[in-house]
């Protein structure tokens, strides 16, 4: 099945950060995995997404079941994609080689670990800085008007300072180590339940009780369409496509597959259950009370009349944003850059380089034109979902969960011709193009509306058919004798 960690480390020319995690470093228990994704669930974009569902005319029960079904599908995908990480202790950038070959892995790796991760890092850092500005302004009101007419590419002085401060906090966690992040998420869990549970209670009181919320009727006209229901599930899952793909970057630190499986399933389901109650209560309750739904949780916090509640809420939002930024963005980017430049970068220097690039792209400028940004990220997501289909098919159906680690780390043991598994590359590209073709061909619009499903479900049979054709019918050898 491959060589030991010590043998690989003695022979490889890779950063030690990319080598299989040694047994003594596999310390994550169920508790860490239970809480690691909470920040990814409870954030501003997630609440805006749910608000969009109500705008489509869905009822509160339809929205509730969309969220619950999404959480179940997501937890299953997380566990399946995390299996190889927990079994072999390898990061996503190395795991990709089992499916695509050493050279072929660069394409999906760069797409997920560099482009998508760095862009999202910048955007999440800016989102966190907005909460930080409100938090500082609560104790130092003059802070919000510092610098007068100072303007740095669209940011006033307080906004710039908050962005730089929140960026520095993110960078400090890069060098603090993965164990510190695990401890942060463990302490963050009760805060998230208290804060967002409190928001739900506040909204229910605003609405005059739970009954008006349950009896709420949306004004849209598409709520009975099963296709709209499926597309909404796809929309939630699409926001997780990058984290789902690179979850082995986290599960490689698991004590066992049982720890990551039980932790992620219970954590995601329970967190999304709270999110369903909180998001529906906040959006519907605020519309009943004010006539206009509040989709931005920061606006909810600003309406609180207790400084303690405001402080606790903003601090929790900042920490949850920090958590998702590290787990979903900077860790995959750090490992991928270390894989691309193994002689120059390790995980920490790669993550720092990604953070610097995330600063230089000036994400606040990118958010001035959200349509183009999210169109780009939608394209990236449409191309990443087929990667999930290919990697799962290769690991479970072709490799039968058995990976030769030596073949993943050495070019002279490359299992595919020229370092590229052509069937995997073709299946990814074809499935990605077809799932996104609806942007240009109206007839294929439905496939694009459910791109998370279509990308994965197209990639699986395509990869199996191409693999059989290339290596069985044509007689080519995937593994060198």
pLDDT the model gives residue 11: 47
Q: What pTM value is reported for the model?
A: 0.84
pLDDT value of residue 375:
62
Cβ neighbours around 102 below 10 Å, total: 23
More confident residue, 431 or 373: 431
C-alpha–C-alpha distance, residues 307 and 287, integer Å:
24
pLDDT band at 1 (very low <50, low <70, confident <90, very high): very low
Query: What percent of the chain stands above pLDDT 70?
Result: 89
On whether the CB atoms of residues 220 and 56 are closer than 8 A, the answer is yes
Cβ neighbours of residue 168 under 8 Å, at least 6 residues apart?
Answer: none
pLDDT at 74: 96
Q: Residue 29: left (phi > 0), alpha (psi -120 to 50), or beta?
A: beta
How far apart are the C-alpha atoms of 444 and 448, rounded to whole Å? 7
In the block, which residue shows the tokens 């009349």?
Answer: 305
The string over 105-139, giving b where at least 16 C-beta atoms fall within 10 Å of a residue's C-beta and e elsewhere, is: bbbbbbbbbbebbbbbbbbbbbbbbbbbbbbbbbe
Give residues with Cβ within 8 angstroms of 369, minimum separation 6. none
What band does 173 get if pLDDT is binned at 50, 70 and 90? confident
What is the distance between the alpha carbons of residues 379 and 204, in angstroms, rounded to a whole number?
A: 38
Q: Look at 356 and 6; give whichever has higher pLDDT.
A: 356
Average pLDDT along the chain: 85
Q: pLDDT-based confidence at 402, cuts 50/70/90?
A: very high
Work out the pLDDT band at 49, boundaries 50, 70, 90: confident
- Residue 434: what pLDDT? 92
CA-CA distance, 8 to 20, in Å (whole number)? 9
pLDDT, tens digit (0-9, with 9 covering 90-100), for 115-143: 777 888 888 899 899 999 999 999 999 99
Q: Tell me the residue length of the chain.
A: 481
Beta bridge partners of 152: 155
Residue 6 confidence (pLDDT): 52
What b/e string do you get for 143-161 counting C-beta neighbours within 10 Å, with b at 16 or more? Answer: bbeeeeeeeeeebbbbbbb
Q: How far apart are the first and last CA of the chain?
A: 15
At 149-158, the pLDDT tens digits run 898 888 999 9
Query: Token pair of 47, please?
Result: 């609440």
The ranges assigned to domains in the chain are 27-473
Which pLDDT score is estimated for 129? Answer: 93
> pLDDT digits over 194-232, tens only?
888 888 898 899 889 999 998 887 665 555 578 888 988
Ordered DSSP codes for 186-236: HHHHHHHHHHHHHHHHHHHHHTTSHHHHHT---S-S-TT-HHHHHHHHHHH
pLDDT recorded at residue 372: 58
CATH tag for 27-473 (out of 1.10.4160.10, 3.30.300.350, 3.30.365.10, 3.20.20.70): 1.10.4160.10
Q: Is the pLDDT of residue 12 over 60?
A: no
pLDDT at position 216: 83
């Amino acid at each position: 099945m491959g060589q030991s960690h010590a043998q690989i480390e003695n022979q490889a020319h890779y950063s030690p950060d990319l080598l299989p995690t040694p047994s003594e470093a596999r310390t994550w228990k169920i508790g860490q995995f239970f809480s690691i994704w909470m920040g990814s669930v409870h954030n501003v974009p997630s609440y805006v997404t749910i608000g969009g569902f109500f705008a489509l005319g869905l009822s509160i029960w339809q929205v509730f079941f969309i969220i619950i079904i999404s959480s179940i599908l997501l937890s299953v995908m997380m566990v399946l994609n995390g299996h190889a990480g927990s079994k072999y202790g390898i990061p996503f950038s190395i795991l990709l080689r089992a499916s695509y070959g050493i050279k072929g892995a660069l394409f999906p790796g760069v797409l997920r670990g560099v482009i998508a991760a760095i862009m999202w890092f910048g955007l999440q850092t800016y989102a966190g800085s907005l909460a930080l500005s409100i938090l500082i302004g609560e104790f130092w009101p003059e802070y919000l008007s510092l610098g007068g007419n100072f303007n740095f590419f669209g940011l006033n002085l307080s906004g710039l300072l908050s962005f730089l401060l929140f960026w520095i906090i993110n960078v400090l966690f890069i060098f603090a180590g993965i164990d510190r992040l695990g401890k942060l998420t463990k302490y963050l869990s009760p805060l998230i339940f208290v804060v967002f549970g409190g928001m739900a209670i506040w909204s229910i009181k605003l609405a005059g009780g739970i009954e008006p919320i349950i009896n709420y009727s949306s004004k849209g006209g598409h709520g009975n369409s099963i296709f709209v229901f499926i597309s909404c599930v796809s929309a939630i899952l699409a926001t997780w496509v990058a984290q789902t793909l690179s979850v082995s970057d986290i599960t490689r630190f698991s004590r066992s597959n049982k720890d990551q499986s039980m932790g992620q399933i219970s954590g995601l389901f329970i967190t999304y259950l709270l999110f369903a109650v909180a998001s529906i209560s906040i959006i519907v309750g605020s519309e009943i009370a004010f006539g206009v739904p509040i989709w931005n949780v920061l606006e909810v916090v600003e309406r609180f009349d207790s400084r303690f509640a405001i402080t606790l809420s903003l601090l929790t939002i900042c920490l949850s944003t920090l958590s998702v930024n590290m787990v979903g963005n900077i860790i995959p980017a750090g490992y991928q850059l270390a894989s691309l430049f193994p002689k120059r970068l390790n995980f920490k220097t790669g993550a720092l380089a990604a953070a610097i690039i995330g600063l230089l792209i000036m994400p606040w400028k990118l958010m001035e034109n959200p349509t183009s940004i999210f169109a780009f990220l939608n394209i990236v997501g449409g191309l990443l979902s087929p990667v999930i289909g290919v990697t799962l098919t290769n690991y479970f159906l072709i490799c039968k969960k058995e990976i030769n680690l030596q073949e993943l780390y050495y070019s002279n043991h490359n299992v595919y011709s020229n370092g590229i598994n052509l069937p995997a590359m073709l299946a990814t590209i074809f499935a990605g193009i077809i799932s996104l073709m609806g942007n240009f061909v109206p007839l294929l619009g439905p496939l694009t509306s459910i791109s998370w499903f279509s990308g994965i479900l197209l990639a699986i049979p395509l990869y199996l058919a191409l693999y059989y054709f290339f290596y069985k019918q044509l007689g080519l050898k995937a593994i060198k004798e």
